[in-house]
Amino acid sequence: MNRAIIAAAGRGSRFGRPGGKQFADLLGVPLIAYAIEAVEKSSSVGEIVIVAGDDDIVICREFIANSSFKKVVKVVTGGKRRQDSVYIGLREMPADTEKVIIHDGARPLITVAAIEKAISASGDHGGILAVPVTDTIKFCDDYGFVLSTRERAGLWAAQTPQVFPFRALLRAYSQALESGIEATDDAAVFEASGGIVKVITGDYENIKVTTEIDLKLAGVILSERIVTR
């Protein structure tokens, strides 16, 4: 069985309002609900574990208890860093898990089709949704002065979901903990252990809600989707 982790333990320090951004109102529904719904509707995912922050664990469990979601089997408390939270989620997975799908709770615009695509295209390796970088990238020093301008060709902005063979990713996370490796996404942890990761073309609409502007943009996109149904 394939299982999913929804990472929702981030504190949202850049969000600009108190409370976890995962439960910010988005068209009358908590933002995280859209991510859960898409993963739940994927026929390739059997069960879901949600990793929530200390401040949100009670509200998250109450939300799930009062929802119609059937695949969410656990809501657990995450750690200080994202990689700590994902590792906690991985250790909650049964040993018979085949692939693990990891998705950010703050990416409400993911579609079922994109999830299925990521799972299928990952094959026996790791697979991540990503989009080509369109902006010019400047590499700067600590004082904000440009050191170099990076060539855009070959640069991709990583998204989620990210998909991996379960046992290989669990081993990679264990090695990262022992070695003191720090990473901002699961693919980097997998790569550090020698794992092969395939980039799967995603969608520019699959934004991560980090600021108030992102939340407003997500609302506009979701409203357009509702109108065109």
pLDDT digit string, tens, across residues 16-65: 555 568 899 999 999 999 999 999 999 999 999 999 999 899 999 999 99
Taking only the tens place, the pLDDT of each residue in 66-82 is 999 999 999 999 999 99
Distance CA 227, CA 229 (A): 6
Amino acid occupying residue 130: A
pLDDT band at 12 (very low <50, low <70, confident <90, very high): low
Query: Does the pLDDT of residue 128 top 90, yes or no?
Result: yes
CATH dotted code for 3-228: 3.90.550.10
Tokens 């092969």 appear where? Answer: 196
CB 57 within 8 A of CB 77: yes
pTM: 0.93
Alpha helices, H only, the chain = 31-41, 57-65, 82-91, 112-121, 166-179, 186-192, 212-228
